[in-house]
Structures are given as structure tokens and as C-alpha cells.
Amino acid sequence: MKTPVTFVGALLLGVSLLAFRSDNPHEAEIKSWHQKRIESLKAEEGWLNLAGLFWLKEGENTIGGNEKNSIVFPAEHSDAFLGKVILKDGKVTFEAAPQAAVQLGEQAVTNAELFPYQGKPTVLKHKTLRWFIIQRGDKFAIRLRDLEGTYVKAFKGIETFPITTDWKVKAKFIPTEGKKLTILDITGRSYEQASPGKFVFTIDGKEYSLESVGSKERPHFVFGDLTNKHDTYGGGRFLDAPAPDAEGYTYIDFNKAYNPPCAFTPYATCPLPTKENRLQVAIKAGEKYHGDH
């Protein structure tokens, strides 16, 4: 009895996948992580659909597709006049224009409190547009998303360095309780952020360290290295690591180094690496960058 070709093909494919998972568990892990990363970028709350960052003035700020507004939304995806965003003493509200088709969730809205908010931002919708309020220092801005925006349509994926366990390094956690880092972002604004500690590791026999933000349980790094402006994004990259174990050790896997939002859109406000986190070594692992901003 002959075995159907389709069955043989499926069987061989299954065997090859099992072999890949068995022989290359680290490579499989990184590829799976990177696929989820791509999906998150393309999601509605991802970074690719950012279409504007508009700083608010105190008082009334009119919004819509008409150029007479103080804040102009993409005309092809917006009615001419949508209403007013009002900033007063650190509070931000919205008043819809007559007949404006603006929604909060699935409900039409005429008035809404946008800031301050509890938990996630209050997001307003109109056609393919989504917008909400962000705060940077004492300034407030509308962050605009367009689900059919330029950067969503132009996205072709992210090139990466070859995956190798050489860039998965053991690191020792050194606590720095109470320490605050002065973070400068890409807009020139600075702020302080708590640092639970630094992580010390060795590359090619030389010791390096990275200051973390976040928490000891979920350390996050903003770092620069000698590949920046050549193979990787000029403003540095991001990296996360598992929590250190009971003896204070964890593994930093530079294969999971990823580009900040500013690599994909000019409308993000990304932190830059501190002086201590600018590594004097070329980290040839993780995501590359060949963009124009």
C-alpha cells in the first residue's frame, strides 16, 4: 500500500520541526520571542500606527482635519472639525463638535475627561484614528494613532543579527536601593527614574555593567554600544532580563535587544542611554536598524 504524498510531506515537516526544537532550543526561543515582538508592533496599541504628537497649550485646542484647527489631524481620515481638547490646571477634557462622530469605546461621546485617568489612558476614536493624552514633565500632549497610517503600511519587518548563545551572558545583580537615574529623552526633556541596581557581566574577558530601571523582578535596560549609527539605531536599544536568582545571578540575552519606538515613528518620546549604559563594545546581536530617523 502506498503512503499518500501529502501525509509523507506532513510527517517530514513534523520531524524537521521537532529536530529544530530539539537541536536549537535557544534559536527557537529567540525566533518565537521576535515573532511576538513583530505582532505587538503591528497591534492596535503598537508603535507602528503613531501618526502625531501634539503638545497642548493651556486652554482650548481645536482638533480635526481642517487646517483652521489648532491641531490638524490627517485630513483623509478625519472630519473637518471634531471638537476641543481643553487643558486647564493639569486636567484635560474633550468637547465634541456638533455632529462629530467621536466614540469612547463603542459609544458616541459629546464630553469626556481625558486626564488624569486611572489605569490605561482614556482613548477616543474617529474612523481609523485613536487619540489619548500623555504627560511629559509639566507638559501634556495628544498622542494620535492611525490604524491605516504611513508607518503601518510601510513596515516590512526587522532585520536581526545571527542568533548565537555567545551573546547570552551571565550577570551579577548589584543592588543600588534608593538610587535615581537622570534620564534624558529624545526631545531633550529630562526626568528621574528609580534604579533597583546594576548588572555586571563579562564580554571577551572584559567586565561591563548596565544600570537597570523598572524593578529587581523585571529589570529593563536602555543601552548604547559601538554598533549604534552603523548597524543599529543611533539612540540605543532596549533590553529586558529575567529576575536574578537567590544568589543574585541572571542571564542577559542580547539576542533580545530591540529597537525603541523612535526607530519606527518620529512621534515617540524615547529615553536615551545614560553615560554608564553606553558600552564600549560592539553588541552584534538583536535587532538592526537601517532607517532614516
Of 117, 111, 75, 70, residue with least CA distance to 93: 111
Residue 163 has pLDDT above 80, yes or no: yes
Q: How confident is the model at residue 23 (pLDDT cuts 50, 70, 90)?
A: confident
Residue 49 has pLDDT above 60, yes or no: yes
C-alpha–C-alpha distance, residues 114 and 141, integer Å: 11
Given this model, what pLDDT does residue 126 score?
98
Residue 18 has pLDDT above 90, yes or no: no
- Residue 163, amino acid: I
Q: Where are the alpha helices (DSSP H) in 105-166?
A: 150-154
Integer-rounded Cα Rg, in Å, for the chain is 23
- Please state whether the peptide bond connecting residue 273 to the residue before it is cis, i.e. omega within 30 degrees of 0: no
Residue 16 has pLDDT above 50, yes or no: no
Crossing angle between the packed helical segments 25-42 and 5-23, to the nearest 10 degrees? 100
Residues 200-243 have pLDDT tens digits of: 999 999 999 999 999 999 999 999 999 999 999 999 999 999 99
Given this model, what pLDDT does residue 290 score?
84
Given this model, what pLDDT does residue 291 score?
72
Given this model, what pLDDT does residue 85 score?
98
Residues 167-200 have pLDDT tens digits of: 999 999 999 989 999 999 998 999 999 999 999 9
Of 149, 118, 146, 136, residue with least CA distance to 56: 136
For residue 110, how many other CB atoms are within 10 A of its CB? 13
Q: How would you class 92 by CB atoms within 10 Å of its CB: exposed for 0-12, middle for 13-18, buried for 19 or more?
A: buried
Of 149, 148, 142, 109, residue with least CA distance to 125: 109
Question: Under 8 Å CB-to-CB from 161, ≥6 apart: which residues?
Answer: 231, 255, 284, 285, 286, 288
- Characterize the bridge pairing of strands 71-72 and 59-64: parallel
- Beta bridge partners, 240, equal 220
Query: Phi and psi for 211 in degrees, rounded to 5?
Result: -80, 135
Cell of 242: 529575567
End-to-end Cα spacing for the chain: 62
Given this model, what pLDDT does residue 292 score?
60
Q: Is the separation of the CB atoms in 222 and 272 below 8 Å?
A: yes
Residues 66-113 have pLDDT tens digits of: 999 999 999 999 999 999 999 999 999 999 999 999 999 999 999 999
Query: What SS3 class is residue 165?
Result: helix
Residues 116-148 have pLDDT tens digits of: 999 999 999 999 999 999 998 899 999 999 999
